[in-house]
Amino acid sequence: MMNIPKLIDDIVGWIKKYCEKNGIDSLIVGVSGGIDSAVVTCLCEKTGIKTICVSLPYEYDQVPMDLATLNSENPMKETSTRRAYYLCRGRKVEYFIKAIQPIVLAYKNAGFGETQLLEGNLRSRIRANILYDFAAKNNGIVVGTGNKDEDQIGYFTKGGDGLCDVCPLSNLHKSIVYEIAKVFGDIPQDIIDAAPTAELWENQTDENELGMTYDEVEWALRILGRRPIAINRMEKKERDIVNKVKNMVKKNDHKLRYPPIFDPNNPENIE
């Protein structure tokens, strides 16, 4: 069993040491209203370093234009941005909302993002650009919110939600992220219960798109980490999941590596 309180302290200390070593003044977190970004927000707040949380919904009409008017008689609609707002309210963080619809439409009017998947990846990359603008203006770094299950199968957009400066959760399965959330104790339950989504399009969820649950992804990754692997002895459903995860790991391996660099002294090398 993992000692979660110690793990939290270790991650917080790791982030602080990185910032001190590199002269970083602020931490930028894209808060989606999901569990991963909620845990990263709490970890960054705990460092005592200036933490800037940014929600990037598609449309402004998902939230009140003026959050100062929000009260019990004027509740925010149930959206991921609502969850992000209530997570950040009262914490020692700065919070901003920026709608990306005008930028997305400008790209689409220019002929880009023609399919649902292309537009979804475009939205992810636009969000990354905005986070890096915040980082540049605040001598900050963008803190990644990806976990081990997502990262190892390459379930992220290259140049989008996979673009960051530090990765506090990338060696931790999503099940551990939930355990961290429980120890913090003040992450709203609706965030813990929310279906994971990158919000690439309306009503998109990670597990529907993947065709398997995160628990199944974690199980398959653990199986693939053992030797030998007797996949052919498994039940068909289990075998299909392991093979699917195995193929995703192989197909998306490039996302976790620095781009190949041509070596004039070894032009045949394509690794």
Q: Residue 54 pLDDT > 50, yes or no?
A: yes
Give the predicted TM-score (pTM) of the model: 0.90
**Residue where one domain finishes, among candidates 168, 194, 220:** 194
Q: What is the mean pLDDT of residues 213-234?
A: 84
Task: Tell me whether residue 265 is exposed, middle or buried, using C-beta atoms within 10 angstroms of its C-beta: 0 to 12, 13 to 18, 19 or more.
Answer: exposed
Average pLDDT over residues 216-232: 82
Q: Give me the domain span that covers residue 126.
A: 4-194
Share of the chain above pLDDT 90, in %: 75
- Is 206 inside a domain boundary? no
**Pair 131, 220 in one domain:** no
If asked whether residues 8 and 125 sit together in one domain, one would say: yes
**Shared domain check, 215 and 99:** no
Is the pLDDT at 72 greater than 50? The verdict is no
pLDDT at residue 163 tops 90: yes
Instruction: Return the closest-CA partner of residue 198 out of 133, 145, 132.
Output: 145
The count of structural domains within the chain is: 2
**Same domain membership, residue 152 and residue 248:** no
On whether both 112 and 237 belong to a single domain, the answer is no
Helices 80-88 and 35-47: crossing angle in degrees, nearest 10, is 20
Q: Are residues 144 and 233 in the same domain?
A: no
Q: Are 231 and 239 a contacting pair, CB within 8 Å?
A: yes
Does some domain include residue 84?
Answer: yes
Crossing angle for the helix pair 35-47 and 174-184, to the nearest 10 degrees: 50
Position 91 in a domain: yes
pLDDT at 82: 85
Give a yes or no: residue 265 inside a domain. Answer: no
* CATH code for position 71: 3.40.50.620
In a domain, 270, yes or no: no
Mean pLDDT, all residues of the chain:
90
Judgement on whether residues 187 and 238 belong to the same structural domain of the protein: no
pLDDT at residue 60, rounded to an integer: 66
Do 95 and 36 share a structural domain?
A: yes
Final residue of a domain: which of 194, 223, 249? 194
Checking if the pLDDT of 63 tops 80, the result is no
Q: CA-based Rg of the chain, rounded to a whole angstrom?
A: 20
Number of H helices, E strands in the chain: 11, 4
Determine, yes or no, domain membership for 268: no
**Within this chain, do residues 188 and 150 fall inside the same structural domain, yes or no?**
yes
- Are both 252 and 142 inside the same structural domain? no
Residue 87 CA from chain centroid, whole number: 16
Say if residue 223 is in the same domain as residue 186: no
126 and 182 belong to one structural domain: yes
